Structure 1
Amino acid sequence: MSSTTRAARPVPACPIRPGEPCTLCQVDVTGPQDCGLVWLVMGDDELRAGVHRSRLAAPGRR
C-alpha cells in the first residue's frame, strides 16, 4: 500500500431507514450516534420493534 492510497471511510447506515445511508437529515448531526430521531425511536419499545420488523422485511434479507 502506498502512502498516497487512502482507505474509504465507511458510510454509516440509518437505523430508521433500513438499507439506506445516514443522510444527516437533521442540523448539527454528525451521524446516527447523535441523531435525535434515532435516539427517540430506539428509546421507545414499540417504535424500536417496528424498526426491527422493517429490517427483517427489507429487500435482501432471507
Structure 2
Amino acid sequence: MSTATRPARPDATCPIRPGEPCTLCQLDVTGPQDCPLVYLVMGDDELREGVHRTRLAVVGSQRPPRRTGRDHRTR
C-alpha cells in the first residue's frame, strides 16, 4: 500500500458554459466526455460556433487590458 498522495485532478469545465465547472447536470454522466448535451451541441456547426464565440468573449473579459504605446512615467 502506497502512502504517496496523488496530485489532485483539475475540475472539468463545462464546454457549453465557458468558464464554469461541469456540474454533472445530466443524469448518469461522469463529466463533459459523456454528456449528451455536449455531444449534441458540439455535433451542430452553428451551436458549436456560438459556444466558441462565447468562450472568446469570456476569455477576453478575464484578461487584463493590454498596454499600448510607451510607458509615460517620468524617470
TM-score range, shorter chain: 0.7 to 0.9
Q: After the TM superposition, list the runs of 4 or more consecutive aligned residues in structure 1 that deviate by more than 2 angstroms.
A: 3-6
1:21-52 Cα offsets, whole Å, 9 max, x none, are 10000100000000000000000000000000
TM-score, structure 2 length as denominator? Answer: 0.72
Letter aligned with residue 10 of structure 1: P
Letter aligned with residue 45 of structure 2: D
Larger radius of gyration: 2
Q: How far did 1:61 drift?
A: 4.7
Q: How far did 1:7 drift?
A: 1.4
Give unpaired runs (5+ residues) of structure 1: none
Name the counterpart of 1:33: 33
User: Relative contact order (C-alpha < 8 Å, sep 6+): which is higher?
Assistant: 1
Name the counterpart of 1:14: 14
Give, in whole Å, the separation in 2 of the partners of 1:12 and 1:57. Answer: 20
Name the counterpart of 1:60: 62
Tell whether 2:47 aligns with 1:47: yes
TM-score, structure 1 length as denominator? Answer: 0.86
Give unpaired runs (5+ residues) of structure 2: 65-75
Q: CA RMSD in A?
A: 1.5
User: What fraction of aligned residue pairs are identical, expressed as a percent?
Assistant: 75
Give, in whole Å, the separation in 2 of the partners of 1:10 and 1:30. Answer: 14
